[in-house]
Chain A
Amino acid sequence: MLTFSQIFKEYQLGQQKVTALKGVDGEIAQGEMVALCGPSGSGKSTLLNVLGLLDMDYQGRVEIGGVPYPKNPRLAAQYRRSQFGFVFQRFNLIPVMTAWENVAYPLMLNGDSLAQQRAKAYEILEQVGLAEFADHRPDNLSGGQQQRVAIARALVHSPQLVIADEPTASLDSHTANVVIELMKTLGHSLGTTFIVATHDPRMSVQCDRTIELVDGQMHKGQMKWAS
């Protein structure tokens, strides 16, 4: 269970202070796939950064499995490498590594042996349908393939939480559907919580639940269950 309460976040924009999050609260159950929606500037990326431990400069409390988020950067890095996975809008694969090396990267950070890294990376690449592209570099893969590699990288170390920031924004509709389906299937089969910031209605429809943010606050009236 991921819980967050009274999350406030302020930015200094030139001479002005901008409040991006104004006391956001919420709970997300383990294995749930939640879409974070809202117009530009609503604070969804900010909340995603806070929940993904990418931004620790906030006020409020976030807990995962009853354990508060660390505030120490080194502990936060340990948390991210062991508990979290990330899927970015522009895939963000390491260009000099092959697909399987990209996927194995979190395993390497967590101290798995090379044999384990290879075995697990190939296994999950098989699941995302890219086993035959394991030795390809990202620049030899299409956008959809790259995003599937990114999903494999996010899930290979069985994290509790995957943070996905606009994962379908750079993809055509067919590929986006494939990626959405893949995230949903793998997320449910592994019991991984997904928080997906998206503008894409196809994505939010596929999620278990949608959290809508407006002006840094949760728009409770619009919260809906997908199915």
Chain B
Amino acid sequence: MGKLIPLSLRVAYLNLLRNRRRSLLSVFIITIAVFALTCAGGFGLYTYDSLKESTARDTGHITVSQPGFFEQDEDTPLENGLSDAQAISKLILANEEVRGVQPRIEFTGLISNGTKSTIFVGSGVNDREFDMKGPFLDVRAGKTLSSIHSSRYNPAEPEVMLGVELAKNLKVAVGDWVTLLATTSDGALNAFDFKVQGIYSTGVPELDKRQLYLHIQSAQELLVSSKVSTLSVFLFETEKTAQIQSWISHQLSNVVLEQPIELTPWQDRAFFYTKVKDLYDRIFGIMGAVMALVVFVALFNTMTMSVTERTREIGTLSALGTYPSDIVYGFVREAGLLALIGALVGGFLSAATSALLFVVDIQMPPPPGRSDGYPLNVYFSFELLAICAVGVIAICISAAWLSARKGVNKPITEALAYV
């Protein structure tokens, strides 16, 4: 077996064994650094991925609206709404990468239980919205909105879903009736009674105090308009957002519409995602720099001690005609080997931790502004491990090169006389 390994590598390995405790300590430090960086990075990747998916599920991957919809306030409901929603939906649904197109009406008004009134933020959606978004709502009581085409749906009993805090504030439960009062699109006041179909939590207390869902047809009747605020386009794969956006843009440019159209990808609406990513990137950047410094100092110390202890050996190798650069490479190989072993062990521990966290349910406390915690997961990424390993190897090699270069610059006669 030993004969299959190149002599240079075997010598590097055997040199590391000359002071096992010191080599083990170096490997341990490198392992901790790689483990910490890959775990922290893996947690970041999981967080980014979760927030990305949650944002894309919430807003849709692409939002179709009038230009400037998100920047301009409406004087009356649906003033900036879309008139051609059905035609646009049909056109977009022709693409097989599109999972669905959901119309939405965003409006505000007053909700009353007969004795008490409060402000609400309403979303008119169709019943497929809840299937499309996945388990983004925690339904605490009752059910989600029924399909208006279903036999169970009674048009005489229009449905509404209330945020848990809003329901609590109004002291209503599933099956109770509430009245929604809103300004119509032409500025008049209109009110309808709705039966509470479900009570849910979004995980954000501020939203739970104000938010409600109702059928888009009910919202259109309440607001006396056939328009919708936006169309949310849901895709099968988030990565194809830019490609499909370009395709939709091209398709829409070939048809005549009543209004100009703007397409907004999910990233432009993902304010929380962007801020969290910026924050985490900086935290991990600083952590990486600190780890790099620790590894550098540890390895520089190890290699300097090793070079000092082997000064006479360096002198012998030089006397025999070994070039200084070859002697330096010998030490660099040793540091590279330490780094490689440390990176492999660190990577293995990181992978094991990642696997363990998929099995063991550890809950993180709720983030600021949220009411629910989330499971602690760490993604294991080979790409991240490769980046960490290359970084650590580069740091170790630099440390070894610096310390060994100093050692080989000593005159041969002095090195040979070193005791």
Interface members, chain A 92-119 (any B CB < 8 Å): 92, 94-97, 101, 105-106, 108-109
| A106-B320 Cα distance, complex, nearest whole Å | 7
Which residue of A has the minimal Cβ distance to B14?
A: A96
| A123-B210 Cα distance, complex, nearest whole Å | 93
Does A81 reach chain B (CB closer than 8 Å)? Answer: yes
Interchain CB contact under 8 A, B312 and A101: no
**Shortest beta-carbon distance, B248 to chain A, in Å?**
65
| A108-B320 Cα distance, complex, nearest whole Å | 11
Interchain CB contact under 8 A, B322 and A77: yes
Interface members, chain A 50-79 (any B CB < 8 Å): 52, 54-55, 73-74, 77-79
Of B7, B15, B319, B324, the residue contacting A80 (CB under 8 A) is B319
Which interface class (under 10, 10 to 19, 20 to 34, 35 or more) fits B?
20 to 34
Does B272 reach chain A (CB closer than 8 Å)? Answer: no
Interchain CB contact under 8 A, A78 and B11: no
Does A177 reach chain B (CB closer than 8 Å)? Answer: no
Of A77, A88, A96, A106, the residue contacting B318 (CB under 8 A) is A77
Interface members, chain B 378-414 (any A CB < 8 Å): 411-413
Interchain CB contact under 8 A, B316 and A81: no
| A81-B18 Cα distance, complex, nearest whole Å | 27
Which residue of B has the minimal Cβ distance to A84?
A: B321
Which residue of B has the minimal Cβ distance to A73?
A: B324
Known A-B contacts A77-B323, A82-B321; A96 and B18 likewise in contact (beta carbons under 8 Å): yes
Does A86 reach chain B (CB closer than 8 Å)? Answer: yes
Q: List residues of chain A with CB within 8 A of the CB of B191.
A: none
State how many residues of chain A have any CB contact under 8 Å with chain B. Answer: 26
Known A-B contacts A88-B316, A94-B313, A96-B18; A54 and B322 likewise in contact (beta carbons under 8 Å): no
Which residue of A has the minimal Cβ distance to B316?
A: A92
Interchain CB contact under 8 A, A81 and B412: no
| A81-B320 Cα distance, complex, nearest whole Å | 5
Does B416 reach chain A (CB closer than 8 Å)? Answer: yes
Interchain CB contact under 8 A, B319 and A54: yes
Which residue of A has the minimal Cβ distance to B13?
A: A96
Known A-B contacts A80-B319, A94-B316; A101 and B412 likewise in contact (beta carbons under 8 Å): no
**Shortest beta-carbon distance, A167 to chain B, in Å?**
14
Q: List residues of chain A with CB within 8 A of the CB of B318.
A: 77
Which residue of B has the minimal Cβ distance to A97?
A: B11
Q: List residues of chain B with CB within 8 A of the CB of A54.
A: 319, 412-413, 416
Which residue of A has the minimal Cβ distance to B8?
A: A108
**Shortest beta-carbon distance, A106 to chain B, in Å?**
6
Which residue of A has the minimal Cβ distance to B11?
A: A96
Which residue of B has the minimal Cβ distance to A117?
A: B7
Interchain CB contact under 8 A, A109 and B18: no
| A105-B313 Cα distance, complex, nearest whole Å | 13
Q: List residues of chain B with CB within 8 A of the CB of A106.
A: 320-321
Which residue of A has the minimal Cβ distance to B17?
A: A96
| A105-B322 Cα distance, complex, nearest whole Å | 10
Which residue of B has the minimal Cβ distance to A85?
A: B320
**Shortest beta-carbon distance, A35 to chain B, in Å?**
20
Of A49, A73, A74, A92, the residue contacting B413 (CB under 8 A) is A49
| A71-B301 Cα distance, complex, nearest whole Å | 34
Interface members, chain A 158-210 (any B CB < 8 Å): none
Interchain CB contact under 8 A, A109 and B321: yes
Q: List residues of chain A with CB within 8 A of the CB of B15.
A: 96
Which residue of B has the minimal Cβ distance to A165?
A: B416
**Shortest beta-carbon distance, B328 to chain A, in Å?**
13
Which residue of B has the minimal Cβ distance to A50?
A: B413
Which residue of B has the minimal Cβ distance to A91?
A: B316
| A94-B10 Cα distance, complex, nearest whole Å | 13
Q: List residues of chain B with CB within 8 A of the CB of A52.
A: 319
**Shortest beta-carbon distance, A4 to chain B, in Å?**
17
Interchain CB contact under 8 A, B411 and A77: no
Q: List residues of chain A with CB within 8 A of the CB of B18.
A: 95-96
**Shortest beta-carbon distance, B408 to chain A, in Å?**
11
Q: List residues of chain B with CB within 8 A of the CB of A94.
A: 11, 313, 316-317
Of A55, A73, A74, A86, the residue contacting B320 (CB under 8 A) is A86
**Shortest beta-carbon distance, B103 to chain A, in Å?**
75
| A153-B322 Cα distance, complex, nearest whole Å | 14
| A55-B416 Cα distance, complex, nearest whole Å | 12
**Shortest beta-carbon distance, B2 to chain A, in Å?**
10
| 0 or 1 for each of B15-38: is its CB under 8 Å from A? (1 = yes) | 100100000000000000000000
| A101-B324 Cα distance, complex, nearest whole Å | 20
Interchain CB contact under 8 A, B412 and A88: no
Which residue of A has the minimal Cβ distance to B319?
A: A86
Of B7, B320, B322, the residue contacting A101 (CB under 8 A) is B7
Which residue of B has the minimal Cβ distance to A80?
A: B321
Q: List residues of chain A with CB within 8 A of the CB of B322.
A: 77, 81, 109
Of B313, B315, B321, B416, the residue contacting A81 (CB under 8 A) is B321
Nearest 10 CB-CB pairings of A with B: A81-B321, A96-B14, A80-B321, A92-B316, A54-B412, A77-B321, A49-B413, A86-B319, A55-B413, A109-B321
9 A–B contact pairs at CB < 8 A? A49-B413, A77-B318, A82-B321, A84-B321, A86-B316, A96-B18, A101-B7, A109-B320, A153-B320
- Other than the given A77-B323, A94-B317, 5 more pairs (CB < 8 A) read A55-B411, A82-B321, A84-B321, A86-B320, A92-B316
